[in-house]
């Protein structure tokens, strides 16, 4: 008897709700739970699947190639985007999943969440400094004036900002010349961080990033997890229209984070918007002070930025 792949995938995932597996790991589960059917597949195959590793590789490839059909037939099976893609079974709605993660909760019987959104900020700072040599500064919304009432700052402040020193590798004479003539020596960046993006929150999160990043040269939405093809299609469409980029943050290994959609550069800083933010939040005001000091001295003063100590 041959293997019926899609029901086998569903059974393996359904027996382990909320646990996440790569295609290779799903293949291993199928091999362990449906050994007789897998042996039948091995015997019927025209390929050389005599070695277990070859059979697992073939199963993993078939899981990946049938992903969209698996999702179409079984809405409770979901996948993450980016590398590596993970498969999992959940009975939780998209809206409830976002709410529980933002609240630091997990369904009964699963491992407790170890990261809040705030826990992702230093990991993002490590990545952007290592990847782009951007000097990061986190913005604490609690240090705002709150003159706009509850949630008044949600669409105003990004979670992190950064300064890129364009002159880091320039000769001294060139740096002095640019300073003398007032040309641009730095670019400013803005980052809005989310634990999860799925169909339920993708548009709100995107337009929050658009609103919070309107002043900067580059704006990015950052997410630990992105779930679903529909979510990625929406993100690419919104990026084409608004120029905001997307970073998938690998919280376990920030150096493995992915720039999934590059941001489109705005060539001019909106200083009126910066002035508004500086009046409302002391962290943003300090960020602007650091940018001014850099333009005056040419020294970014690494110790003043939120660069994790372990980052070289």
What pLDDT is stored for residue 311 in this prediction? 59
pLDDT above 70: percentage of residues in the chain:
90
What is the average pLDDT across 148-177? 79
pLDDT at 149 over 70: no
Decide yes or no: CATH 2.60.40 for domain 5-91: no
Lowest-confidence region among 67-81, 165-179, 294-308: 165-179
DSSP string, 114-131: ---HHHHHHHHHHHHHHH
pLDDT band at 154 (very low <50, low <70, confident <90, very high): low
pLDDT digits (tens, 9 = 90+) for 118-135: 899 999 999 999 999 999
Q: Which helix (H) or strand (E) holds 79?
A: strand 77-79
Name the one residue in this structure whose structure tokens are 């037939």: 73
Give the neighbor-by-neighbor strand order of the sheet with 186-197: 134-138, 160-165, 186-197, 218-226, 245-248, 258-261
- pLDDT tens-place string over residues 217-270: 999 999 999 998 889 999 999 999 899 999 999 998 998 899 999 999 999 999
Q: Which residues pair with residue 87 across a beta bridge?
A: 21, 79
State the pLDDT at residue 112.
41
Q: Which residues pair with 222 in a beta bridge?
A: 193, 247
What's the token pair of residue 26? Answer: 């799903």
Q: Tell me if 74 sits within 8 A of 225, measured CB to CB.
A: no
Between 107 and 304, the more confident residue is 304
Band of residue 114 on the pLDDT scale cut at 50, 70, 90: low
Please list the residue range(s) of the chain that carry CATH number 1.10.10.
5-91
Residue 312, pLDDT > 60, answer: no
Whether the Cβ atoms of residue 277 and residue 143 lie closer than 8 Å to each other: no
């Amino acid at each position: 008897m041959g293997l019926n792949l899609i029901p086998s995938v569903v059974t393996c995932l359904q027996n382990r709700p909320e646990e996440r597996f790569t295609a290779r790991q799903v293949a291993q589960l199928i091999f362990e739970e449906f050994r007789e059917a897998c042996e039948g597949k091995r015997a019927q195959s025209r390929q050389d699947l005599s070695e277990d590793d070859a059979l697992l590789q073939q199963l993993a490839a078939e899981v990946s190639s049938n992903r969209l059909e698996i999702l179409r037939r079984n809405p409770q099976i979901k996948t993450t985007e980016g590398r590596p893609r993970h498969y999992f079974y959940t009975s939780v709605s998209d809206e409830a999943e976002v709410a529980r993660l933002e609240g630091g909760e997990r369904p009964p019987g699963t491992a407790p969440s170890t990261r809040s959104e705030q826990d992702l900020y230093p990991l993002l700072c490590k990545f952007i400094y290592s990847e782009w040599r951007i000097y990061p500064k986190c913005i604490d919304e609690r240090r705002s004036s709150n003159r706009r009432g509850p949630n008044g700052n949600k669409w105003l402040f990004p979670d992190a900002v950064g300064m890129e020193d364009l002159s880091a590798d320039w000769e001294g004479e060139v740096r002095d010349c640019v300073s003398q003539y007032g040309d641009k020596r730095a670019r400013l960046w803005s980052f809005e961080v989310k634990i999860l993006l799925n169909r339920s929150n993708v548009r709100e999160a995107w337009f929050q990033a658009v609103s919070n990043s309107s002043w900067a040269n580059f704006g990015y939405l950052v997410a630990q997890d992105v779930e679903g093809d529909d979510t990625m299609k929406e993100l690419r469409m919104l990026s084409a229209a608004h120029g905001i980029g997307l970073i998938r943050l690998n919280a376990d290994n920030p150096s493995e984070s992915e720039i999934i959609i590059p941001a489109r550069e705005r060539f001019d800083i909106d200083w009126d918007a910066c002035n508004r933010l500086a009046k409302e939040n002391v962290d943003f005001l300090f960020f602007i002070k650091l940018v001014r000091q850099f333009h005056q001295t040419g020294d970014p003063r690494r110790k003043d930025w939120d660069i994790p100590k372990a980052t070289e």
